[in-house]
Amino acid sequence: MSGDALFCHCRPGFEPELAAELAERAAALGHAGYPRTQRGSGFVEYLCDDAAQLARQLPFAALIFARQKLLRLAELRGIDPRDRIGPVLATLDTICSHDRDGAAFGELWVEHPDSDAGRPLSGLARSFGNALRPALRKAGWLSAREQPRLPRLHVVLLDGDHLLLGRSHPGDSAPWPQGIPRLRMHAQAPSRSALKLEEALLVLLDRDERAALLRDGLTGADLGAAPGGWTWVMLGHGLHMTAIDNGPLRPHLFETGRLEHLRADGFRWQPAQPLDWMVCDMVEQPRRVAVRMAAWLREGWCRQTIFNLKLPMKKRWDETRLCLDLLEAQAGRPLTIRARQLYHDREEITVFARPR
């Protein structure tokens, strides 16, 4: 079941950044090809001779500006709205092997780009998915129950008569349709920035890491904490937190008895003894933030960190590479670095880093 392109969802407006990232990473892997996109579309396609091999060589976890990674199997245009199911089944019969042993797919996701043009298709995506799912099972393409070890089949609606078929592997893709985790704003959260850290902990850490690194009794600091959104998240995981900010925090944060507020400059303060965590969402030049985060890791002031880099309006992929290279160079030691533009991010990326 070979594909003809790599397809990635992204934040609308960041198509050039994702296109540049895919082109650079594909070239480094020896793939000659080119990205294709339109600004505001919410997705990028990368066309090359062997997209299936590129999909295997380029893990989703390594991508920064992609919300989801699919192997595009086919593009269907001019579909009769009265029968969208027939063309999908016929295309699968044509492009996929007929000698398969059992169902080829363990789950079906019918999606649309997260864009101005794509969002109105959400209702059609739901109804089409409900109709297509039993037809795929009857034809033997889809398992009767969700099978997490089998590839997913993605149908991406670009218009009422235009769709893409794609495939993803559960272990090499986002676990949510469109790559968007549906998080709700908690009434006690001091600010919407709490959603960024909650998503970062889901995306940048695996289940075992969350269990080991987010538990009662660990210590952390929040640089530039006010009004306390990120502090609130870490307190919720049982940590003892030190909030560093000259501004005020929401009073209810102190009810845990595990919070100390120091009115100090987040770029100057350092802990008296090593902490388990440091988190930072300060609005500052990204290179300055990268250098300061590197100092925390170099000096051993924290065991791991999650922080945001606010990106400029132009050359954002170049600035991203520069900042991440600067982080590791200034840390003076090999680092594990994971970075992603999260759904709840805006003109920024979120980074997890720790010494290897």
- Per-residue pLDDT of 148-160, as tens digits, reads 889 999 999 999 9
Q: Which domains does the chain have, with CATH numbers?
A: 5-179 (3.30.2130.30), 193-355 (3.40.50.150)
pLDDT tens for residues 25-66? 999 999 999 999 999 999 999 999 899 999 999 999 999 999
| Structure tokens, 142 | 């889809």
Give the pLDDT band (50/70/90) at residue 102: low
Higher-confidence residue of 103 and 287: namely: 287
CB-based contacts of 78, cutoff 8 Å, min separation 6? 161, 162
Q: If you average pLDDT over every residue of the chain, what do you get?
A: 95
Give the pLDDT band (50/70/90) at residue 221: very high
Give the pLDDT band (50/70/90) at residue 178: very high
| Residue 281 counted as an annotated binding residue | yes
What integer is the mean pLDDT of 265-270? 95
Give the pLDDT band (50/70/90) at residue 95: confident
What integer is the mean pLDDT of 123-141? 96
| Residue 265 counted as an annotated binding residue | yes
Give the pLDDT band (50/70/90) at residue 100: low
Catalytic residues: 310
Give the DSSP H or E segment for 349.
strand 348-355
pLDDT tens for residues 248-258? 999 999 999 99
pLDDT tens for residues 315-327? 999 999 999 999 9
pLDDT tens for residues 329-347? 999 999 999 999 999 999 9
pTM for the full predicted model: 0.94
% of the chain residues with pLDDT over 90:
93
DSSP 8-state secondary structure symbol assigned to residue 151 = P
Q: Are 244 and 223 in contact (CB under 8 A)?
A: yes
Q: Are 307 and 32 in contact (CB under 8 A)?
A: no
| Residue 193 counted as an annotated binding residue | yes
Q: How far apart are CA 248 and CA 260, in angstroms?
A: 12
pLDDT score recorded for residue 3: 65
Q: How far apart are CA 264 and CA 247, in angstroms?
A: 9
Q: How far apart are CA 309 and CA 332, in angstroms?
A: 20
Q: How far apart are CA 5 and CA 3, in angstroms?
A: 6
**Is the backbone peptide bond immediately before 81 cis, with ω within 30 degrees of 0?**
no
* SS3 of residue 20 by DSSP: helix
pLDDT tens for residues 9-20? 999 999 999 999
Give the pLDDT band (50/70/90) at residue 355: very high
What integer is the mean pLDDT of 74-102? 86
pLDDT score recorded for residue 171: 94
